[in-house]
Amino acid sequence: MFNHQVPVGTTQAQIEAQVQTIYPNLLAIFNGRPNPNQFYGLAWDGTVWA
């Protein structure tokens, strides 16, 4: 979830500029994380991964 607080009196244009700067950084961090589904469907049967 994304939460960004701004001081009272901040204009909409300023908020939009901040969000446009912050969002790509958060997206890069998210995309850099390992894929949680990369091992979906794999199981160890005691001898090999199936």
The predicted-structure confidence for 11-48, as pLDDT tens digits, reads as follows: 999 999 998 998 899 899 989 998 888 888 788 888 88
Q: Would you report the helix, strand and coil content of the chain in percent, each value rounded to 5?
A: 40, 5, 55
Type and span of the H or E element at 14 = helix 12-32
Cα torsion angle, 20, 21, 26, 32, sign: positive
Confidence class of residue 49 from pLDDT cuts 50, 70 and 90? confident
> Do 4 and 19 form a contact (C-beta atoms < 8 A)?
yes
By the 8 A CB rule, do 21 and 12 touch? no
The rounded distance, in Å, linking the Cα atoms of 20 and 36 is: 27
